[in-house]
Amino acid sequence: MRQAFFYAIASALAFSIMNLFVKMLGQAMPAAEITFFRGLIGTVAVLIYMRVKGIAFSTENRGMLTVRGIFGGLGNLCNFIALAYMKLADAAILFQLSGIFVFIFSTLYLKESVPKGAGKWLLLILAAVCFMIKPWSFSEFHWYSLYAIAGAAFAAAAYTTIRKLSQVGHHSNYEIMFYFLVTTMIVGGILMGPDFVWPDLRQWVILGIIGGISVFAQFFLTGAFVATNAVVAQFLQYIGVFFNAMWGFVIFDETLSWLTVLAGIMMFVASVMIARLKEQHVKV
């Protein structure tokens, strides 16, 4: 559990830094293009590392590894779109819905049992999301929040697949990362279309940082999901909301509405309670 905690916190910090640089690119570069370059740089870096360390690819579960990559690539694309048009903290809070989706998917797909008492906390999270996105108000509803929610769902499907892979196969973290990164590159490349923007020097530097930091983030994330059950690993990353809020305030002068703060607190409390219930349930 201690190792999973370290991996989850490290990945949350690294992903928040990646989000910061994605936000810096803003709307000047299409999200699909950023996704493509993130996947390309990460793929090359992981391949070089595997070659140097003599890490071989396995012949098992290639279909599952590919599916994990597709889910991850689509989630990555949706998240980048949301980051371009939303405040960092707002997007980060909605990204954490992946914990709820992991809870659902791990129950349905991994057959992990539902701990008693989890229902009321799930309802609290649903209420918190409604407070944030205000679906009842057409003028206040942020349509890009749907991308953040979709990104959370795709990411959760990918995380659940990682956990399944750790149960049925013998795959190194780097092999799992490779399939994710190369599939992310393909997803971004397919969806770039005619809106390709040739990066200037500053954008090349930022893309390099995004690609590099994402490799570390993905390594720690994969390690967290291998080290513990999918629900606990995901909820441990909730600290990422605070990292993103800090970058948004310091770099972009973003402030949070009281409803966003309330929703974040509600989701955090409910998420911690679900993680505790899940952990206690596993020990029984």
What is the chain's alpha carbon radius of gyration, rounded to the nearest angstrom? 18
Question: pTM, whole model, 2 decimals?
Answer: 0.82
Distance between CA 13 and CA 33 in Å, rounded? 23
Q: What digits encode the pLDDT tens for the residues 90-126?
A: 888 888 788 778 878 877 776 766 677 777 888 888 8
More confident residue, 44 or 255: 44
Question: Which pLDDT score is estimated for 80?
Answer: 92
Distance between CA 65 and CA 174 in Å, rounded? 12
Most confident of 3-12, 56-65, 227-236, 245-254: 245-254
> What letter represents residue 55's amino acid?
I
More confident residue, 222 or 77: 77
Distance between CA 260 and CA 85 in Å, rounded? 16
112 secondary structure, DSSP code:
P
128, 266 contact by CB (below 8 A): yes
Interhelix angle 62-85/145-168, nearest 10 degrees = 160
Of the candidates 154, 247, 188, the residue with the CA atom closest to the CA atom of residue 30: 188
- How far is the CA of 79 from the CAs of 19, 118, 128, 172, 281, in angstroms? 9, 27, 20, 26, 32
More confident residue, 213 or 230: 213
240, 13 contact by CB (below 8 A): yes
13 secondary structure, DSSP code:
H
Of the candidates 206, 212, 215, 203, the residue with the CA atom closest to the CA atom of residue 174: 215
Q: What digits encode the pLDDT tens for the residues 117-153?
A: 777 888 888 888 887 777 766 666 778 889 999 999 9
172 secondary structure, DSSP code:
-
144 secondary structure, DSSP code:
T
Question: Which pLDDT score is estimated for 179?
Answer: 87
Enumerate the H helices of 26-168 as residue ranges. Answer: 31-53, 62-85, 88-95, 98-108, 118-133, 145-168
- Torsion (CA) 25, 27, 31, 36 in degrees, nearest 10: -40
Distance between CA 269 and CA 67 in Å, rounded? 32
**Count of Cβ atoms closer than 10 Å to residue 80 Cβ:** 27
Task: End-to-end CA distance of the chain: give it in Å, rounded.
Answer: 16
C-alpha 282 chain-centroid distance: 24
Name residue, tokens 């795709």.
154
